[in-house]
Structure 1
Amino acid sequence: MTEDRRNFVLFIVLAGAILFGWQFVSNRFFPTANPPATKIEGGKQKPVATKSADPTADGVAATRDRAVVLAESPRVRIMTPRMQGSINLKGARIDDLTLTDYKETVAKDSAPIRLLSPAGAKEAYFAGFGWRDDGLKPPAADTVWQATGNVLAPGKPVVLDAANASGQRFRIELAVDNDYMFTVRQTVLNAGSAAVPVATYGLVNRSGVSKDPDSWTIHTGPMSVNDGAAHYNPNFKDVDKGPQRFTTKGGWLGFTDKYWLTALIPDQGATFDGQFRAGANQSYQADYSAQPVTLAPGRSVTQTSRFFAGAKEVRLLDEYTDHQNVAKLDYAIDWGWFRLVEKPIFYYLDWLYRDVGNFGVAIILLTITIRLLMFPIAQRQFASMAAMRAIQPKMKALQERYKDDKVRMQQEVMQLYKTEKANPLAGCAPMLLQIPIFYALYKVLLLTIEMRHQPFVLWIKDLSAPDPLTPVNLFGLLPFLPPHWLAIGVVPIIYGISMYFQFKLNPAPMDDTQKQVFALMPWILTYVMSSFAVGLLIYWTVSNVLAILQQQLLYSRHPQLKQAVPK
């Protein structure tokens, strides 16, 4: 078998591996997009309903209606510009919370995102605060606290009050800001005759694992900041094996989903013990306890913590981190290795969106910006390509002359590059520079809630999800939904066509195997890219179109690139 034929067979094997193995690899290591927000049936676009996790709570399967559970105990309403819910006075729990700015689906009548639910209801998820029983005898979990008001709102804190039989009074003052942060001030007044140990705790308990998969590039599940670093482990499986504990000064712990976060934030100047542990029926808990202090008779002590429950908005998390002294709360978004590139890309894209009002248009403007910045590099690339093309006959002659002496051939080729001032690597520079930009935009579209359910035009209702319109079922006219690995959308097809014309515009390679590879590559890329977020495909398609225009301009400056290579 000749070397050219062997290379072609190797390429076919690699292409087959991509076609049949890409979905497995992408789901585990490189998730491509959010689940589809819409589907097209009978030629009409319909919202896709979200799926719920299995309902368990407090080790008991949830069988009761949420409204019934909420009505079983007295409550204080939570009313803020961005949240609604209630505090359970039985046990002093924050266990009822919806985020009014975000909807479950893109449907106009969709319900808001429900983040917290009481124990015993479907998808139980709640926070609680209290004191360790190390001789203090604090209120029990079924204690009904007395409240000073009926509504908790920004600027209107609520104080919960209870007492024990030993003369100690307990107060929990709850305040909330205009976004998603609760402040919890826990006070003990010792009216007894003996000193008592006082140590506060906070907990977040949830039933079931995150609905969002935990992958190599995106962490969901238990998360903490301790010892000055963000830790995206343990995961739920690690917690199943046994409690995961740490001691630190400053930091926080909680549970992160792709877009939502609950975080217990103890006093950032004090040392605390944190842990993650598993309960019965797939329930999980994050909790902390502060260091104990001895409270003398007639004295009081107050310990303050905070609780974040809401959306992982980039600007908001940065605000809490930089100006409200919450260590690395912005790391709740798993930016990963390219953080230094991804955050500027996000902020520039968000700034464009605020100006034009459409994230799709903002992505197009971002693409134009990147292409303009890279134009000088592209000019040098084409000049190098022209020089490389001009020396092809000389290089072929050297390869023939020294085909039996590989070392001498390499030396002569390097001398030829130096003499002719040609750089074979210069053509790779624009592509290499685009890799971190492409990956950064991929992470921005996949991670940031600002991109969630953002429409573009026509049938594109969510730029962070794949294109739902596919010719496989005649654009929804046939009564079946093709599997996701086969549903190649309209935008990916446009992307493939743009890639085809860009390849056609490049100088034809001399090697026949390379010609065959380049002929197939646009269509393989069309398949691979079809499962990516449509916003990413818009970026890449516009980038290809601009590259074609740029190549036409540069070919006019370097016409020798379009000429046949002399023999």
Structure 2
Amino acid sequence: MEKRTILAITLCIVVWLVWQAFFIKPVEPPPGTIPDGGTGKDTAANENKPASSSSGNIPDAIDTEPQKPEKTVWLETDYYKVLLTNHGAAIKDLYIKKYWARDEKKGGAIDKTKLQDLVDVGDEKHLPATISFKKFGGMENAPVPTGWTLVNSDASSAVFRTNFGGAEIEKKFRLTETPYLFEVIARVTNNGDETLNEQMKVSLFGKLKPKPKTGCFGAPAAITTAACLEGETLEQVGKNKGDFRELQPEVRWTGINQQYFLLALVPTDVEEAACRVEVTDDDYLRSDVLVTERVIPPGGEVEHRFLVYAGPKKLENLKAVSGGAGKKGSAKLDKSVNFGIFAVLCYPMLWTLRLFYGWVGNYGIAIIFLTILVKLLLLPLTQRSMRSMRELAKLKPMMEELKKKYGDDKQKLNEEMLNLYRTHKVNPMGGCFPMLLQMPIWFALYRMLYSSVELYQAPFIAGWIDDLSFRDPYFIMPIVLGATMFLQQRLTPTAADTQQAKIMMYAMPVFFTFIMLYLPSGLVLYIFVNSLLSIGHQMLYNRMTGVAGGNNGKVASK
């Protein structure tokens, strides 16, 4: 088989493998030894899989209030509405306004009858913003306080209170003016006659969802994770039961991280904090913040403050949140946006995409403009590749003669081929090398378009593509894309023989059409427009250089 054909097939396989490696990468298994979240010392119990965060002996000395009949209260802003319950003094529902939920029964299509709900746990034992204590009055792993009473509420706040082990615990939820942000304030008052040591833990939960079965040609599955940022290190778990991480001492935030949305907890009044993220045995994602141990004298009180971010992963909203243990300034919630190794390219691309959107008001058109801009920036490399492929195509008759003459002597044939390239100053890899240089940009564009919430439910053409983050519902664009790729193959000069050229001409468009069927339509739109621009460029180049397009790119005689 001709070497360039083999190289082309190899490149396709490499692209597919890189795609699998970078965009469907599973969460890594946990390390063997994990530092203790409260002391920073390694413990033998953590050398293997530890007990769940909620495990531990319940001390008899802790008096708890009996569970009271449920009472709920809604708090609402222009950005979200949150339902609070006295069962755990926690979050029961949290709906993000202006964002619709996906209907998994319809393959993930937007359901315009339901708002996006960031609390989908279905179990009172796993409600977000639940507090517990690693240490309380000298006891380890005290039980979760119960018997909360809703003592007062208004349009911007709600206060819950309970008695627990000789102390009064008050928990206040307060809205803020910052988009998608509210505050949780937990106050512990020591009503006893002895000093009280307490170390509070606040937990967020998410339901572990099974990986969707989309087949080998489906879009990469969006895995929801339990995540924690300590310093500059983001750790996430979200695949296997029993996976966990523990980090300290400068935890900026911990939360439940989805593809387009984030539910995060930010400690704001401590110098040090630890976090633990895990996949529990009952299929829940759990994310805990453990604050520094405090000593409360008789009659004294301590207050713990946390910020809760619940909203889309828009960079300007994420960067507006300040806090984190021992930190001033940004809590770096933007670290939840996973651009991977291509971040250095993705951020300017996203900035440019949003700039175009500000001009035209349609993200589909903005993607078209971005595609044109990238095409112009890569024009010198593309031109060089075309020139090299044209020069190589001109040698095809001489290459065929060499094959006839030395067909039985592979070593001699290779030597003569190299002499031919050297004589005519043609690099057989010259057409491929510029394409390889462009691949990081293509992968970065893929990652940016796939990870950006800006495309979530963003329409392009009403009645056809109403959500650029979802596949083309009628598969029109992937099929047309396959046709344009077929046309592009015909226009591209080639040194391969007729049979090999036909195989590539028909097989590659079909292969990529199947790949594109279930990819986000915003990404397919980029590839489609890029293909049209490439066809126009190739036709113009062929006309300027005397290459005929109707004969598999052979050089026309003059």
TM-score under structure 1 length normalisation = 0.73
Note if 1:194 corresponds to 2:194. yes
Q: SS state of the match for residue 338, structure 1?
A: helix
Among residues 93, 117, 141, which one is paired with 1:96 in the alignment? 93
SS at match of 1:237: coil
Query: Does the 8 Å CA contact 2:145/2:162 hold for their aligned counterparts?
Result: no
1:315 paired to 2:316: yes
Q: Is 1:289 aligned to residue 290 of structure 2? A: yes
User: Displacement, 1:218?
Assistant: 4.9
Task: Work out the CA distance in 1 between the residues paired with 2:320 and 2:419.
Answer: 59
| Cα distance in 2, alignment partners of residues 435 and 541 from structure 1 | 16
Aligned residue number for residue 176 of structure 1: 175
**Superposition deviation, residue 500 in structure 1:** 1.6
Letter in 1 for 2:301: S
Aligned match of 1:507 = 493
For residues 321 and 230 of structure 1, do their structure 2 counterparts lie closer, same or farther at Cα, with a shift above 3 Å needed? farther
Query: Where do residues 372-383 of structure 1 align in structure 2 (5 Å cutoff)?
Result: 372-383=376-387
Q: How does 1:148-227 map to 2 (within 5 A)?
A: 148-152=152-156, 157-163=157-163, 166=166, 168-177=167-176, 178-190=178-190, 192-209=192-209, 218-226=222-230
Q: Higher relative CO (CA 8 A, sep ≥ 6), structure 1 or 2? A: 1
Q: Is the 8 A contact 1:210 1:257 kept in 2?
A: no
Deviations 1:16-59 (A, max 9, x none): x99xxx9x998998569xxxxxxxxxxxxxxxxxxxxxxxxx99
Paired residue secondary structure (2:493):
coil
Equivalent residue, structure 1, for 2:38: none
Aligned residues of 1:132 and 1:199 also touching (Cα < 8 A): yes
2:464 to 459, 463, 478: 459
| Contact kept? 2:203, 2:287, Cα under 8 Å | yes
Following TM superposition, by how much is the alpha carbon of 1:526 offset from its aligned partner in structure 2, in angstroms?
Answer: 2.2
| 1:375 Cα deviation after fit | 2.1
Q: Which structure 2 residues correspond to residues 389-400 of structure 1 after superposition, within 5 A? A: 389-390=393-394
Residues 502 and 314 of structure 1: CA distance in aligned 2, closer, same or farther (over 3 Å): same
Q: d(CA) in 2 for partners of 1:410 and 1:90? A: 79
TM-aligned CA deviation for residue 262 of structure 1: 2.1
Identify if the C-alpha distance between structure 1 residues 175 and 324 changes in structure 2 by more than 3 Å, giving closer, same or farther.
Answer: farther
Q: 1:107 and 1:264, CA in 2 relative to 1: closer, same or farther beyond 3 A?
A: closer
Q: Measure the CA separation in 1 of the matches of 2:417 and 2:494.
A: 24
Paired AA for residue 531 in structure 2: N
Q: Deviations over 1:445-464 (max 9, x none)?
A: 33222212222224222222
Q: What is the alpha-carbon distance in structure 1 between the residues aligned to residue 21 and residue 292 of structure 2? A: 40
Question: Match for residue 520 of structure 2?
Answer: 533
1:360–1:324 Cα change, 3 Å: farther
The one-letter code matched in structure 2 to 1:536 is L
Q: Is the 8 A contact 2:270 2:291 kept in 1?
A: no
Structure 1 range deviating more: 347-356 or 434-443: 434-443
Unmatched segments (≥5 aa) in structure 1: 33-57, 60-70, 470-488
Query: What are the residue-to-residue correspondences of 1:415-494 with 2, within 5 Å?
Result: 415-416=422-423, 420=425, 422-457=426-461, 458-469=463-474, 489-494=475-480
Tell me the equivalent position of 1:556.
543
Alignment map for 1:117-132 (pairs within 5 Å):
120=123, 125-132=127-134
CA deviations over 1:285-322 (Å, ceiling 9, x no partner)? 32232121222235433232222223222332233379
The answer (yes or no) to whether the contact 2:269–2:305 under 8 Å persists in 1 is no
Q: Which amino acid is the alignment partner of residue 381 of structure 2? A: I
Q: Counterpart of 1:274 in structure 2: which amino acid?
A: C
Q: Which moved more, 1:538-547 or 1:130-139?
A: 130-139
Rounded to whole Å, the distance in 1 between the matches of 2:441 and 2:411 is 43
1:144–1:546: structure 2 CA closer, same or farther, 3 Å change rule?
same
Alpha-carbon shift at residue 118 of structure 1 (Å): 7.5
Shift of 1:107: 7.0
Question: Is the alpha carbon distance of 1:380 and 1:171 closer, same or farther for their aligned partners in structure 2, counting shifts above 3 Å?
Answer: same
State the partner residue of 1:367: 371
Letter in 1 for 2:225: G
The change in CA–CA distance for 1:97 and 1:160 in structure 2 (over 3 A counts) is same
- Deviation of residue 502 (structure 1)? 1.4
Letter in 1 for 2:259: K
**Match among 330, 334, 337 for residue 334 of structure 2:** 330
Once residues 4 and 417 of structure 2 are traced to their aligned partners in structure 1, the CA distance between those partners, rounded to angstroms, is 22
**CA distance in structure 2 between the aligned counterparts of 1:456 and 1:468, rounded to whole angstroms:** 13
Greater Cα offset, 141-150 or 458-467: 141-150
The 3-state SS of whatever aligns with 2:340 is coil
Distance change (3 Å), C-alpha of 1:207 and 1:501:
closer
Change (3 A) 1:118 1:380: closer
Structure 1 CA distance, aligned partners of 2:535 and 2:182?
Answer: 53
Aligned to 1:485: none
Q: Is the 8 Å Cα contact of residues 320 and 330 (structure 2) preserved in structure 1?
A: no
Secondary structure at 2:204's aligned position in 1? strand
- Alpha carbons 1:186, 1:200 under 8 Å: kept: no
Q: 1:239 aligns with which of 237, 242, 259?
A: 242
Does residue 145 of structure 2 align to residue 141 of structure 1?
yes
List alignment gaps of at least 5 residues for structure 2: 26-53, 56-67, 103-108
What code does the residue aligned with 1:199 have? Answer: Q
Bigger mean CA offset, 506-515 vs 390-399:
390-399
Distance 1:300 1:158 in 2: 20
Q: Which residue of 2 aligns with 1:478?
A: none
Equivalent residues in 2 for 1:245-256 (5 A)? Answer: 245-256=246-257
Distance (Å, rounded) in 1 between the aligned partners of 2:322 and 2:523: 29
Matched, 1:84 2:81: yes
